[in-house]
Amino acid sequence: MVTEDSAAPPGTQTLARGLAIVRAVADGATDLRTLVERTGLGRSTAHRLVQLLVREGYLRSGRGGYVLGPTLIELGFQALHGNPLPVVARPILEELSEQLQDTVHLAVRDGSSVLYLDKLPGSRGAEMRSRIGHRMPLTRTGVGMALLLDSPQEWEQLYETETSVEPALANDDIETFTARMREYATSQVTMDMEDNEPGIRCVAAPIRDATGTLVGAISVSATRPYMPAARMRGLVKVVSRAAQRISAALGHRTL
């Protein structure tokens, strides 16, 4: 909610308000009343900004209310193609998907969340709620935990924060979670043991660039019947090798 203009740098308050409206629409606000409630803006201010955003194509108004507009779609594709990771990773993800018939994800860290850049749905089992452009908690997903492997100083705080938001998803206490993360940091492979969705398991591994910086992660996910513990262990080398191939294509060299 945008209630204090002082949170924005001087001279950027109007921009911050407009961005808050775009974010609110992205989160499901479809009418002016809901936008006012979500952003804390005055009705007349929200109305003026919505008119401008519709005119510029950032929002679209239809029978169902406000939705994201074509300008954002265009910019989103430009941003996606401006990042070499999805382009480099795609052929390897396709090979992995064809080989395993499971759902394959590519994700990056965006603040305190996982942001999915690509998803190849599996040919068996239930559909998962993940989608391209969707965000999920870092400590609850396989790709999220893989993205945290180089950040042990953040493990406890992020886990406690995300547990307070969704306590029903807390399968582990903080000590158990950090112990898991230490093991994952050693193996450079993480496992989602139904931490995010009941019945959904996955194996994930980090991607590094030429400097060795962790820049993304991939995962292979399936429902529990197709992902027993023995198969998860068997996928460790497969997923790790795919992540290493993507890393190598980004210029990373292992010692």
With the CA atoms of 60, 27, 140 and 119 taken in that order, what torsion angle do they form, in degrees rounded to the nearest 10? -10
Element (H, E) at 97: helix 84-100
Would you give the end-to-end CA distance of the chain in angstroms?
A: 47
Contact 49, 18 (CB under 8 A): yes
C-alpha to C-alpha distances, 240 to 43, 96, 115, 236, nearest whole angstrom: 52, 11, 20, 6
Q: What is the pLDDT of residue 3?
A: 47
pLDDT digits 0-9 by tens, 49-80: 999 999 999 999 988 899 999 888 778 767 66
pLDDT digits 0-9 by tens, 182-239: 999 999 999 999 988 889 999 999 999 988 999 999 999 999 999 999 999 999 999 9
With the CA atoms of 224, 226, 230 and 232 taken in that order, what torsion angle do they form, in degrees rounded to the nearest 10? -80
Nearest Cα neighbor of 239 from 174, 186, 191, 167 is: 191
Mean pLDDT of 84-111: 93
Q: What is the pLDDT of residue 79?
A: 67
> pLDDT: is 150 or 87 the higher one?
150
- Structural domains of the chain, with CATH: 5-75 (1.10.10.10), 83-249 (3.30.450.40)
Q: What is the pLDDT of residue 73?
A: 78
Task: Check residue 138 and report its DSSP letter.
Answer: G
Q: What is the pLDDT of residue 4?
A: 45
The CA distance from 208 to 108, in Å, is: 11
List of long-range contacts for 23-28, beta carbons under 8 Å, 24+ apart = 25/59, 25/66, 25/67, 25/68, 26/68
